[in-house]
Every structure is written in structure tokens, then in C-alpha cells.
Structure 1
Amino acid sequence: MENQRTALAIARRLGGGLATMQLDVPADVQVKLLAYLDLLARWNRTYNLTAVRDPAEMVSRHLLDSLAVLPFVRGTTLADLGSGAGLPGIPLAIAQPDLRVTLVESNGKKARFLRESVRSLPLANVRVEQSRVQDTTGKFDTVTARAFASLTAMLAWGGHLLANDGRWLALKGHADPAEIAAVPDDFRLVAVHPLTVPGVGGERCVVELARARSASMLG
């Protein structure tokens, strides 16, 4: 009975958070998001995939924080760099089943968890690429990165993965003007989108970047 009450409270926290964020996520999708969260919580007890232990806190810091990116995703393909426990890639893939998502993760235990998530949930639109970002190939309409390095470093390692008309979405706490100013000349800032995520304190934002237009494209 206690477990049922806890599960109900977590489900309500997710539904309430999505409503506050004005994200229209169907009930069956919310069920799948919670199944992913349950799998993450169980694996986390053994493999230490995330420092967040409390499932209710995971709703805010992992599910809602990841889904805050949803309005800025474009196209049909997405690469999630340094995906870790699948964030934000797996929540985005669950919310958009027509989106083809590649999770790039070099760490063996994290890649094993990602493969198990794809198998057990199941996620037909997700594949796991166990490799370093700089060794990954392909072109993607959207590239996500959850602030595992500076913008300059992320673009140096993974900039080649962004399609010509694609968007790079970097999840950050504070948008540092100096860091943005240091972005290489072949990329440009599109916007800094402030985020309000229920249950997550402090600043959150998405830094949206695109390829700089070449002279031939302008002509």
C-alpha cells in the first residue's frame, strides 16, 4: 500500500509539472516516462548512474528538466551527446516516438543501462552508440548536450554531427556571456531560452546554436 501511495504521488508530480510547463503529454506517454524512471532508480542502486536518489526529485531534475527542451527540438533525428543515464535523450524519445534518437555514451556501465532501457521499455526509435563524441559519425537535425563541458569544447568534439540547418541545444544553469562569445565562428547563437522547471531551483536555460551561414548559402 505504501508503494502504491508513493507511485501515485510520483505520477501526480509528473502530471502536475507537465501542466505547469504547458506541455501536452498523453497519459500513456507519462506511464512510459515513469517506467523509465523506475528502471533508472533500480539500476542506480547498484551502478550509481546519477547522484539523485529520491524518485520524486528524479521527476523534477531528470524527467521535467529533460522535457523542458521539447519545444526547441526540430527535425526527425536527434543525437544526445554524453547521454549518461539517457538524459535528456530518453525522455525526449518517449515523448516523440517519431523522433529517431541516438544516445552517445562512452562509459560502459552507462551504455549497458541505456541498452537495457531500449530493450525493456521498449524504445524502437532509440539506438545506443557506445563511443566518444568525437568518434561518432552522422548528421542530426538536433543535437542535445546536458552541459558536460563548455560550449567551445562541446562544439569541438561534436560540432561535426550537426546538420546544416540543425540546432544545437545545450542545457545550462547560467548562460555565461563570455562562454557564448567564445563560440567558434562557424556557429552562431540563435537564442538563450530561460527555463522554469517545477521542483528545480536556480537558473536553467537552453542555449540554442546553429551553423553560421556561409557566403554561398546567403547567395
Structure 2
Amino acid sequence: MDNTQIWLKDWASAIGIALSDNQLEQFEAYYRLLIEWNEKMNLTGITERSAVYEKHFYDSLTVSTVADLSGSVSLADIGSGAGFPSIPLKIAFPRIRVTIVDSLAKRIRFLEEVVSSLGLADVTCLHGRAEDVARLPEHRDRHDVATARAVARLAGLNELCLPFVKPGGIFVAMKGSDIAEELDEGRFSIEKLNAAVHQTKRLELPNERSERHLIVMVKKGPTPKAYPRKAGIPLKTPLLRNAIRL
């Protein structure tokens, strides 16, 4: 175990996660695959090992500070990209059941390789648009937790993610430093999708000290039949209180 792995183990411990040697080996295998595949396709602009461990791995694990991931929790990760936050969360909490949705087939192939190489069970990688997958009965209003990291502004993102969450479940939107305007802009879509803001948690990365926020929304009832709208519309024409209706 080197210094970078010790840092991750200590950082995880500070937020209540005990990582075993095997789990640390899984994180290292994940890192190696990320760098290998990143040479063939654009997965991340962050490649320096300690930065990946802090800005991708640890940052993903912070979801556990606002979501109960004990037991067989069902988590849907929307627009997962290179697998953040769902793959780090699956490594740290092996019993959770993960569904990863991404619109780019080659990213899904990468994630399938990660899942296979790391020996992760109960992970489903779906190639498709979130608007279409959320209409499927097996995913609509079905998941305990939905997550999204660096995907889009809340006003559009809410319509992509909240339909996956079952009543009583939560959506955790992972955001950076300036969230006040975006949160205010997104409140109308939150109401329209039968949800409410439960809490907003501010965090800092351990070494870099850059600011992060977790916006937690609780689902109050089933998704209205009108949502999500057709693929592409939620991000092009987000639900805004003063939007012009054509």
C-alpha cells in the first residue's frame, strides 16, 4: 500500500467507510483501466494518479454522507461517463445494486470491462438516453437512489434523473462551488417532478480544498405521466417557471 492508497483509506475512514486491502486493489485496477482506455477515448481530463484518487474516487464516495447505502440499495447513475460516482460506490458498498445509464456506447463498453475486471456483481450498464430508459417499467419510479455528477444544470438534469427514483427515495446531484443560482432555477422542475429539496451539503476535497455540494432531493410521489419529455428536450428546453409555452 503506497501513500496515495493510504490517503484514500484515511479519507474514506473520515466519512465512515472502512476500505479493505482488496477494495484498495480494486480502486487501483480501476485507475489502471481508466488510464489505459483514456488513451483510446476521452474519459477524463484528470489522469495524474493522486488527482484521480481525490477528484474522482474520494469525491464519488462522498455520496455516502447523504445516502444510506447499507444493504441491497438500488442505485441508478445517470450519465455516468467513466463510472463516477457509481463504480467507486459499488467498490465501497458491495451489496448495492447499480444501474448505469449512458448515451455513448463506447463508454458503456469501458464500464462493462471495469465491472468484469473488478469482479463486481449486480451492476447493469445500459446504453441509452435517460429520457427513454426512464420510461421503461423496470426503471421508472423504481430506484432508492439516483445520482448524477457533472452532467447538466439542475433545471434539465432533474427531468433526466428524478423519474428513476421511487417515492421516498432520493436524487443526489453532485455539484461544484456556485450553486445558488442553479438551485433557484431548478426549483420549478423539482416541484413538477413530485420532489422537494431535502438538504444541500457543502464539502471540500481533502488536499485540493476545492468546494463541492451535494444537492439531495426526496421524491414525494410517482413521476407525472408527462415526464420525462422526448429525448433531447429536457436539456434544450428545461422546465423553468417563466419559460415561454409554445
Same fold (TM over 0.5): yes
Unaligned 5+ runs, structure 2 = 223-246
Shift of 1:17: 2.6
The 5 A counterparts of 1:88-127 are 88-127=85-124
The 5 A counterparts of 1:9-158 are 9-74=3-68, 76-136=73-133, 137=136, 138=139, 139-158=142-161
> Is 1:201 aligned with 2:204?
no
Measure the CA separation in 2 of the matches of 1:97 and 1:128.
Answer: 16
- Structure 1 vs Structure 2 CA RMSD: 1.9
Shift of 1:108: 1.8
Poorly superposed stretches of 4+, deviation over 6 Å = none
Measure the CA separation in 2 of the matches of 1:20 and 1:159.
Answer: 30
TM-score by length of structure 2 reads 0.78
- DSSP-derived class of the 1:42 partner: helix
- DSSP-derived class of the 1:204 partner: strand
Measure the CA separation in 1 of the matches of 2:22 and 2:36.
Answer: 21
- DSSP-derived class of the 2:147 partner: strand
**Residues 212 and 13 (structure 1), Cα distance of their counterparts in 2 relative to 1, 3 Å cut:** same
Measure the CA separation in 1 of the matches of 2:92 and 2:10.
Answer: 16
Superimposed CA distance per residue, residues 111-163 of structure 1 (whole angstroms, 9 cap, x where no aligned partner): 11001111111111211011111111312100000031111211122321111
- DSSP-derived class of the 2:207 partner: coil
**C-alpha contact 2:86 2:100 (8 A) present in aligned 1:** yes
Q: Taking every aligned residue pair, what percent have the same amino acid on both sides?
A: 31
Measure the CA separation in 2 of the matches of 1:8 and 1:132.
Answer: 40
**Residues 112 and 207 (structure 1), Cα distance of their counterparts in 2 relative to 1, 3 Å cut:** same
Unaligned 5+ runs, structure 1 = 1-6, 215-219
Amino acid in the other structure paired with 2:127 = Q
As a proportion of its length, which structure holds more helix? Answer: 1
Amino acid in the other structure paired with 2:79 = G
**C-alpha contact 1:85 1:114 (8 A) present in aligned 2:** yes
TM-score by length of structure 1 reads 0.87
